[in-house]
Amino acid sequence: MNYPYQINSFDQYQSDYKRSVADPEGFWAGIAENFSWRRKWDKVLEWNFKDPRVEWFMGGKLNITENCLDRHLEKKGDVPAIIWEPNNPEEKSRTLTYSELHKEVCRFANVLKNNGVVKGDRVCIYMGMVPELSVALLACARIGAIHSVIFGGFSAQSIADRLQDARAEYIITCDGAFRGAKDIPLKAIIDDALVTCSFVKRVIVFERTKTPVSMIKGRDVWWLDEMKNAGDDCPAEEMDAEDLLFILYTSGSTGKPKGVVHTCAGYMIWAAYTFVNVFQYQPGDVHFCTADIGWITGHSYIVYGPLAAGATTMIFEGIPTYPDAGRFWEIVDKHNVNILYTAPTAIRSLMSYGTAPLENKNLSSLKTLGTVGEPINEEAWHWYDQHIGKGKCPIVDTWWQTETGGVLISNLAGVTPAKPGYATLPLPGVQPVLLDEKGQIIEGNDVSGNLCIRFPWPGILRTTYGDHERCRTTYFTAYENLYFTGDGCLRDADGFYRITGRVDDVLNVSGHRIGTAEVENAINMHSGVIESAVVGFPHEIKGQGIYAYVIFTGNLEGDLTRKDIAQTVTRIIGPIAKPDKIQFVTGLPKTRSGKIMRRILRKIAEGEMSQLGDTSTLLDPAVVEEIKKGKL
């Protein structure tokens, strides 16, 4: 059985695409009919990219959890919704059917209500990859609370910044999280964050690792105790199509991370539509997305997309290399995974172990492979194709962003053509354009430029939380009436798109987005640091590594000082932003107006010393020679 909105052939893709451009409102109204509404919309779309203002399905009323849970109960009540695989392969996996998940979500939604959470409240979720994490998201959505999930790799300071920005008064966390051989003390990190966030009223703690925790009277409660006192009947709150569903913080080229806002109906439809079409999900398939729910990939392709489609979705608590580099393949074998969606960095890392970890693993259940997060190099693409897909599984290279809610450019598995290294063609509803330096649209094929989108799709961000002006200036002012992605892009002779990487000061480290300015600010917090400049450099496994040039005063003790600086970054942002290389310098290349010439620093970090271009306009050209000599 197929989904009514499933694209089944290249011809259908082409005709759907044309219709989505010629009559977007008619097209998306047709798709929206396949979801469950309390009340249908009055108008499909109103928009302008000037303010910007985008509203989809105006006047429509719904609750996303009725779409993800209730409507499946009759026919799919006993179908697995979630299959959970623990970090430790010796521990038993868990399956929650749709009726079980529904019951858990309703019960926990009542826990939230019992603890004072009401519609519109912001709830911060800081948990490991346990089924209860999905339950927490859905329970918020059930009662109309706005969730803000924070990835477990962020520090107490980062959590505090996000709590303050969203004024989140409620937190759901775990005592700890198992990740490989490590045990991350989540609750202790929350406690550190809360030193500066006295407005937080309640912390609900799910016990997972039995790590000792301090429970503060009047503030902290145990998940399990609260569940005992809650009923499992919880009618869903009626939400407006454009009510906020969640906030997810992401880094940019300047300032602190911003809270990307997605709303109920458009996001739901985009997540479900892209899930079914990109992966060509068929009912009964087991879908395994290896991302963390703390990132948008997990929101859209572990939780909301699959569940809105009534699919079976895997949650894996651990990491690809624990207890050994065969773990993904063991999971595919054990749970008969049909769709595997992972990141190029994971593929490259596993590739480095050779094919021994694949021995005795039956991967014949696999039908579709996917990648996301960064450009995939051809070597990794071919390894994935040959050794994992055995040359029989289409690979979808899915390009998208936190801001886009779901995939914008990708081939559709087995339905539209693939090309290694290319995200290929836009999904219906997505109208990409390439821009030159002068801001002119580049027509025709075999061209490259900055990637923009000229028409809203249902999953586009609506604002950045608490600061609409920042949303406008970040995405909608670089080019008039266009959404600017921040990515460079090539369109080949056949009209296929290849994303070439960020054109702004944003790094992509192991598929994690990190702003250079943010890392510099963290480094500059170290008492001995006068100034710093951070750039990316090519890294074999991570895609990009972090290279920091640091001007340091006082006693330089080489490696110890490097470790101190790395420790400072870990404290301020989290371990994911730790620099790979720190080079001490006495000055930075600057223009006469004092602007750091990052282009030069980037070239040096990349090892392209001979291609520095004109350095004569620099304030102090000699500094470049010194930096070149000291390159790590």
Beta-bridge partner residues of 442? 434
SS (H, E, C) 103-133: HHHHHHHHHHHHCCCCCCCEEEEECCCCHHH
Min dist. Cβ of residue 469 to ligand WT7 (A): 21
Q: How far apart are CA 545 and CA 352, in angstroms?
A: 17
The piece of 172-180, 236-244, 396-404, 457-465 that touches ligand WT7 (CB under 6 A) is 396-404
The single residue listed with the structure tokens 């392969």 is 89
Q: Does 131 bind ligand WT7 (CB under 6 A)?
A: no
Q: How many CB atoms lie within 10 A of CB 585?
A: 19
Which contacts qualify for 556-565: CB closer than 8 Å, 24 or more apart?
Answer: 556/584, 561/528, 564/526, 564/528, 565/523, 565/526, 565/529
For residues 332 and 423, which CB has a smaller minimum distance to ligand WT7 in the complex? Answer: 423
Q: Does 544 bind ligand WT7 (CB under 6 A)?
A: no
Among 134, 155, 402, 431, the residue binding ligand WT7 under the rule CB under 6 A is 402
Among 108, 267, 381, 399, the residue binding ligand WT7 under the rule CB under 6 A is 399
The piece of 191-199, 211-219, 392-400, 587-595 that touches ligand WT7 (CB under 6 A) is 392-400
Q: Does 499 bind ligand WT7 (CB under 6 A)?
A: yes
The piece of 17-25, 221-229, 483-491, 539-547 that touches ligand WT7 (CB under 6 A) is 483-491
For residues 205 and 372, which CB has a smaller minimum distance to ligand WT7 in the complex? Answer: 372
For residues 163 and 506, which CB has a smaller minimum distance to ligand WT7 in the complex? Answer: 506
Among 20, 398, 411, 568, the residue binding ligand WT7 under the rule CB under 6 A is 398
Q: Does 248 bind ligand WT7 (CB under 6 A)?
A: no
Min dist. Cβ of residue 375 to ligand WT7 (A): 4
For residues 55 and 374, which CB has a smaller minimum distance to ligand WT7 in the complex? Answer: 374
The single residue listed with the structure tokens 């917090």 is 525
Size of the site for ligand WT7 (CB under 6 A): 21
The amino acid occupying position 474 is T
Q: Does 250 bind ligand WT7 (CB under 6 A)?
A: yes
For residues 422-451, which are near ligand WT7 according to CB under 6 A? 423
Report the candidate in 305, 303, 261, 257 with the shortest Cα–Cα distance to residue 279.
Answer: 305
Q: How far apart are CA 434 and CA 436, in angstroms?
A: 7
Min dist. Cβ of residue 597 to ligand WT7 (A): 23
- 521 Cα distance to chain centroid: 23
Among 150, 160, 372, 523, the residue binding ligand WT7 under the rule CB under 6 A is 372
Among 373, 389, 449, 543, the residue binding ligand WT7 under the rule CB under 6 A is 373
Q: Kindly provide the b/e burial profile for residues 280-290, where b requires at least 16 CB atoms within 10 angstroms of the residue's own CB.
A: bbbeebbbbbb
Beta-bridge partner residues of 433? 452
Among 70, 191, 243, 397, the residue binding ligand WT7 under the rule CB under 6 A is 397
Report the candidate in 35, 162, 1, 152 with the shortest Cα–Cα distance to residue 87.
Answer: 152
Q: Does 65 bind ligand WT7 (CB under 6 A)?
A: no
For residues 237 and 504, which CB has a smaller minimum distance to ligand WT7 in the complex? Answer: 504
Q: How far apart are CA 175 and CA 183, in angstroms?
A: 10
For residues 223 and 457, which CB has a smaller minimum distance to ligand WT7 in the complex? Answer: 457
Give the count of alpha carbons within 13 A of 437, CB side only. Answer: 0
Q: Kindly provide the b/e burial profile for residues 301-314, where b requires at least 16 CB atoms within 10 angstroms of the residue's own CB.
A: bbbbbbbbbbbbbb
Q: Which uninterrupted H or E stretch holds 513?
A: strand 512-515
The single residue listed with the structure tokens 């697995």 is 80
The amino acid occupying position 7 is I
The piece of 185-193, 222-230, 309-317, 367-375 that touches ligand WT7 (CB under 6 A) is 367-375
Interface pattern 318-337 for ligand WT7 (x via CB under 6 A)? --------------------
Q: Does 209 bind ligand WT7 (CB under 6 A)?
A: no
Q: Does 486 bind ligand WT7 (CB under 6 A)?
A: yes
Angle at 310 between CA 305 and CA 312, to 5 degrees: 85
Q: Does 292 bind ligand WT7 (CB under 6 A)?
A: no
The piece of 209-217, 393-401, 567-575, 600-608 that touches ligand WT7 (CB under 6 A) is 393-401
Range list of β-strands (E), 32-119? 43-48, 53-58, 61-62, 80-85, 94-97
For residues 487 and 520, which CB has a smaller minimum distance to ligand WT7 in the complex? Answer: 487
Q: Does 574 bind ligand WT7 (CB under 6 A)?
A: no
Q: Does 505 bind ligand WT7 (CB under 6 A)?
A: no
Q: Where on the chain is the footprint of ligand WT7 (CB under 6 A)?
A: 250, 296-297, 372-375, 397-402, 423, 485-487, 499, 502, 508, 513
